[in-house]
Structure 1
């Protein structure tokens, strides 16, 4: 079960259980063959089956497919989508482990199944980064089941408590080791088109169904644009698998909401994959993500009828939190403040627009009102995001083409340029606003719904969207925005007309980049230490169990002393046949003390009257017999006598 949590849904659990059942059935069917032959046949068969199942999704020969399967799983989303190529390594591994465990049941029943359980548990912990069993309940269950076959019922609680206490002391309590840090994720250079120029084309086909979705009523993101050249917007070009890319330079805020949505593609084309919020996981295994924005791309392109699910998180700060928030400085926000050769008129207009604001949130609200005031959206207005087009949109003489008129592209770009000019980290998002749910439970997004909006990043609270097209008339913070505007008294700035010989103004300087944090020390040593401690932990547990058994036997008098001698015979490799009597077994030990002890044990167990006190202490006889047994045993067996687990099962 912990291993199955590495994949989303219940399909993985069903396949892993089926692999265990199949392995035991095949081993049982091959019961007449030697155990080595069964392992030689079934394990290669499992590897071959995994290759034939995944060869369509992973290119290459058998060795390449099997070799690359685990790195692909470690660089996939977490939890991984239940696709053939990502499920294959888990199913094959469980099958091989189950085959070894099933073969071990044909010989000794002591160590095979518990070791198989430990292998599966450790694999699940590594695959999920320790999140599959955060409180160790499954680990305690494995230990309890193993101990149930090793000790008596009366001793199980005490031994289990000792083992759990020992595990709690020995195991590290710090952050879980993350094996994904040891795998270089495949980063792809994907050239994606800027969707802003297509806003007019989508608006020209207002009734075309682009998407159909089922989920909460939030905005759907298509593309996130953060690089501004002064002439146009550009999206990121480096994308990686979900769960395998680095953390974003600007982290999510402290108050977020998880969202999940099911999307069906209609007439929408291209490589941008719609999602909701910052994407956490998706059912498409070949989708790639921009780590900074969470925007998704599908390199193979969208096709009509494509259906998938997306899980994401949305920043949801309150108005009070935004009112006291600042904006970050330094290297992480440089990309969101870039304005190459900003014209002087735009810089001065931005400064004049926020002159009454006292904090970043008030500046953002003021700019939303400034861009919106006296300007109207027009789907047939000239397109473009250059400084020239924005200046025409903001300052053009009434009646000229594009003056005071624009699509969502001009509204969002004008806001982003002015916001960056006053030091607010800003980006532009292309997507769909929330639409009401239809009678069939779906929300239908059409060409008329495609729009663009700016987002501002606030320290500690994440990305907050603004709407310069609708302004303060919409959104959950509409009342708060109107209160801000009332306090500012006047936020409208007249477009300045600077002298033509003035050089372009640069955006105000921001705080110097902080020193890079020291790289956390590698945690590979934690794995090495844990692996090194496993034999020590196992030896300590077995030694404790052996001492508990010897203490119980010492309280049993002559019969306990004789059982102690039988334990020494078992660990020396001379397990007596079950039909032999005690004196017959004693005859095989070259010391008269063994025969005397066997007679005392027989009388203690079967005499019809209490035996008279022995002249010699039974345990003194037992020690002499043990010495005689040791002389005949190889030296390497004597080294393992104190921790040999076989006496724990001997009756």
Structure 2
């Protein structure tokens, strides 16, 4: 009995640390369900073991010294994890650049990464640091202070956070959750006997009265547990059928510029500069020429074609889209080096399966790739694609799909000209099979129209009507591949065919791909065959036949006789609202040792949470004011103003006009600081308020540099803030009634004006509210 006592004591001493490590590891297992491979579980296990071991080894050190030592060790382990994952993913750049990028974008990229998530520095930093901090806090509270149940709180919160992040993207984490409860129970049971309790000799005698009270207490506790299970069990069980919320819908995915949302409008510019070298291609096999895709445009609103993609950050391995049942698939590997190609879209042979050498985001619905950081000369990446070759023997009898799944590529916007409808009807009336209809449209375009390089851009309904039916001697019946592909796609949809437009390049083989190789082509979806490309472009040596010979409609209105204006790009829709991630922790402690432990462990979690909120707020402001088209940035500046009014205790109803909101903002600013000349600024003529040149920017900039609370500058700040509100209201009205007319300088002035107004409203808050202004989670979840 006595010889076994040291072993028993050792096992009891190891019970709680082992339970803490196991609970943190199980949280990593829960999160790893949406990751590719099992590397994340190993990294989290290392963080859990390291954090608990540091606390056990430092038990004799002062409590205030444990946290700094543990954080230093955590930095080393985290750095090794970042180096390992960056090396495995083949990411370019040095360690400092990779670590800085991961620290700045860890949370957004974790929540926007494509599932399965590849373990890269951006996606492992937050789980590893969270696991280490949870292990540190739990070990300090459970081991140093002896509060085992309270020490279980950080690992449990980490597990709950992992379940929330996974959301509906994996099966319910029943196994890891049950295992966590079992591990916690075993650790708690093994820790009930303290070192001072006798372990040898006869058991102490317990009075009968004490035994009776213990029996009654146990029975009462059991009855309470049974009653709670009976009452709460059905309600908890009902929640199993409820689909959990996906936190990814609260985070803005990577956004693209207008030229990348609709690269079709770049065709005419490339056609005028055919020798411009856009990128270099090197194919691994000895294949010949092939089509390299830049973007797939599936959405058409009668004015412009758009990609309409929802991009998600992806690792090297992209999600596999099942090929068509009767298509032949061959693997093609290419190394592409960017030259003068600008934007964010990455050229690749369809359909990409693996990308190395560049951080990418991907939309599986269209197969379009982007580099969120933008293209730069010299960028080199390797892409492996699964190129499908449809079975041509099946096309003649193949049907086209219908239903909600393809409604997007069948939609015909309202306002289609009657001439287009009559032409589509004429081409389809003698061709019942879908493939025959598609071939009739292709042949019509190839025989009746001329391909030229100097045709203006435009594919709205008026532009297509002029291209198809305008007089030949007035510029009609001629265009670039933009008009040919867009006309085919619209006529195809009018004839009941699911169509889309693809922008890409006809690469002759290895070597440079030039602007003259860029063109657009239409594709039609057939059941069992997949997307089939068509080529409506005429042969260079063929002379087109006049349209009037084969199409003689009797329109109510004559066909257009003048070239319409080029397509005007509408502003992109504002990004989805973001919602906050809030965390509140309460700890009631009574001993100085526990306070020191919490200060060393839990306090770090609080600081990290506040830093995360501050980072998300800064990222939200940066996205609103500095990313996207000018119209979108003006709208973002306006939202910054309305959020600031709400934070300052002056919320404005959502149904107010911009002018009414501006008036409410002026009243709030007047309450914040007595204006000296603000009233006069509010009555200046509109022409004066409309000047967005250097004078307004200089005034706003000077006001932004004044310290808060400087009494001598109150008048200048107030006047600048009133003028900023007026200018913002004017720009918002301009965006609403004349989209696409806001210049870059105006968007920059709107951003600076929003910052001035925010500072002026914040300066009036009490000191403690000013400190909490930047970490308030409200703007992350408030909706317009």
The alignment's TM-score, normalised by the length of structure 2, stands at: 0.43
Q: Find the counterpart in structure 1 of residue 434 from structure 2.
A: 360
Corresponding residue number in structure 2 for 1:477: none
Q: Deviations over 1:436-493 (max 9, x none)?
A: 3x3xxxx64322221111122345765432222379xxxxxxxxxxxxxxxxxxxx99
Superposed counterparts of 1:96-175, under 5 Å: 96=133
Match in the other structure for 1:87: 124
Residue 89 of structure 1: how far off its partner (Å): 1.1
2:246 to 172, 176, 180: 180
State how far apart, in whole Å, the 1-side matches of 2:308 and 2:553 are: 37
Q: Is the 8 A contact 2:309 2:366 kept in 1?
A: no
Provide the residue aligned with 1:447 in structure 2. 515
- Checking the alignment, whether the CA contact within 8 Å between 2:281 and 2:337 is kept in structure 1 is yes
Q: Give SS of 1:219's match.
A: strand
SS at match of 2:258: coil
- In the TM superposition, residue 208 of structure 1 has moved relative to its aligned partner by 1.1
Q: What does residue 412 of structure 2 align with?
A: 338
Say if 2:274 is the partner of 1:205. yes
Task: Please give the secondary structure, in 2, of the residue aligned with 1:301.
Answer: coil
Alignment of 1:422-433 (within 5 A): 422-433=495-506
1:349 aligns to what SS in structure 2? helix
Match 2:112 to one of 64, 75, 78: 75
Which protein is richer in helix relative to its size? 2
Q: How does 1:542-553 map to 2 (within 5 A)?
A: none
Question: In 2, distance between residues paired with 1:133 and 1:292?
Answer: 23
Task: Select the residue among 293, 304, 310 that pairs with 1:221.
Answer: 293
Whole-angstrom distance in 2 between the partners of 1:7 and 1:284: 20
Pairing 1:571-650 to 2, within 5 Å after superposition: none
Asked if the contact 1:278–1:314 (Cα under 8 Å) also holds between the matched residues in 2, the reply is yes
Query: How far, CA to CA, are the matches of 1:53 and 1:206 in structure 2?
Result: 35
SS of equivalent to 2:125: helix
Among 233, 250, 271, the alignment partner of 2:304 is 233
The aligned counterpart of 1:372 is 446
User: Are 1:501 and 2:556 an aligned pair?
Assistant: yes
CA distance in 1, matches of 2:323, 2:454: 38
- 2:70 is matched with 42
Q: 1:372 to 1:183 in 2, by over 3 A?
A: closer
- Corresponding position of 1:465: 533
Residue 210 of structure 1: CA displacement? 2.5
For residues 258-337 of structure 1, the aligned pairs below 5 Å read 263-277=336-350, 292-298=365-371, 300-308=373-381, 318-319=391-392, 320=394, 323-329=397-403, 333=407, 336-337=410-411
Deviations 1:513-553 (A, max 9, x none): xxxxxxxxxxxxxxxxxxxxxxxxxxxxxxxxxxxxxxxxx
1:408 aligned residue (481, 491, 494)? 481
SS where residue 429 of structure 2 aligns? Answer: coil
Aligned to 2:88: none
Gaps of at least 5 residues in structure 1 are: 60-64, 150-170, 472-491, 505-651
Distance 1:459 1:84, change over 3 A: same
2: distance between equivalents of 1:430 and 1:95?
A: 47
**Could you list the per-position Cα deviations for residues 178-227 of structure 1 after superposition, in whole angstroms to 9, with x for gaps in the alignment?**
76367523256654124334324324233514354657876333233344
Residues 1:308 and 1:379: Cα distance change in structure 2 (over 3 Å): same
CA offsets 1:285-343 (integer angstroms, 9 cap, x no match): 98555675343455653221234566777776544378332232469626643254333
Q: Distance in 1 between matches of 2:462 and 2:99?
A: 53
Distance in structure 2 (CA, Å) of the matches to 1:243 and 1:298: 10
User: CA 1:182 to 1:388, structure 2 compared with 1: closer, same or farther past 3 Å?
Assistant: closer
Question: Counterpart in 2 of 1:417?
Answer: 490
Shift in Å at residue 70 of structure 1?
A: 5.1
Question: What SS does the aligned partner of 2:550 have?
Answer: coil
* 1:304–1:136 distance in 2 versus 1, CA, 3 Å: farther
C-alpha contact 1:191 1:237 (8 A) present in aligned 2: no
User: Counterparts of 1:386 and 1:309 in 2: how far apart (Å)?
Assistant: 36
**Alignment deviations for residues 334-388 of structure 1 (CA, whole Å, 9 cap, x no partner):** 6643254333333333222233322223222332233223655433455443556
CA, structure 1 residues 179+58, in 2 after alignment: closer, same or farther (shift >3 Å)? farther
| Larger CA Rg, structure 1 vs 2 | 1
Pair 184,374 (structure 1): closer, same or farther in 2 beyond 3 Å: same
Confirm or deny: 8 A CA contact 2:398 2:526 kept in the other structure: no
SS of the equivalent of 2:504 reads strand
- 1:23 to 1:414, Cα distance in 2 relative to 1, 3 A: same
Deviation at 1:430, TM superposition (A): 0.8
Q: CA deviation at 1:412?
A: 0.8
- Kept in 1: contact 2:358–2:381 (CA 8 A): no
Alpha-carbon distance in structure 2 between the residues aligned to 1:118 and 1:137: 15
Q: 1:117·1:142 contact (CA, 8 Å) conserved in 2?
A: no
Measured in 2, the distance between the counterparts of 1:207 and 1:334 equals: 35
Secondary structure at 2:551 match in 1 = coil
Deviation at 1:268, TM superposition (A): 0.3
How far does residue 419 in structure 1 lie from its aligned partner after superposition?
A: 0.9
Is the contact made by 1:192 and 1:237 (CA closer than 8 Å) also made in structure 2?
Answer: no
Change (3 A) 1:453 1:390: same
Do the aligned partners of 1:78 and 1:128 also contact (CA within 8 Å) in 2?
A: no
For residues 176 and 412 of structure 1, what CA distance do their matches in structure 2 show? 45
> 2:724 maps to what in 1?
none
Query: How far, CA to CA, are the matches of 2:248 and 2:344 in structure 1?
Result: 30
**Equivalent residues, number:** 445
| Whole-angstrom CA distance in 2 between matches of 1:225 and 1:136 | 42
SS at match of 1:337: coil
Q: Determine if the alignment matches structure 1 residue 30 to structure 2 residue 96.
A: no
Equivalent position of 1:582 in the other structure: none
Indicate how the Cα distance of structure 1 residues 49 and 135 shifts in structure 2: closer, same or farther if over 3 A, else same: closer
Note the C-alpha offset of 1:408: 1.5
Deviation sequence 1:143-187 (CA, Å, 0-9, x none): 9x99xx9xxxxxxxxxxxxxxxxxxxxx99x99987636752325
Structure 1 pair 212–142 and aligned structure 2 pair: CA distance change class (3 A): farther
The TM-score normalised by the length of structure 1 is 0.50
Gaps of 5+ in 2: 1-27, 80-95, 188-236, 540-546, 560-784
The question of whether the paired residues in 1 share the 8 Å contact of 2:298 and 2:308 is answered with: no
Per-residue CA distance 1:399-453 (angstroms, 9 max, x = gap): x4756653221221221122122122322111123543x3xxxx64322221111
Deviations 1:87-132, CA, capped at 9 Å, x for gaps: 2112213434666899999999xx9xxx999999999898778999
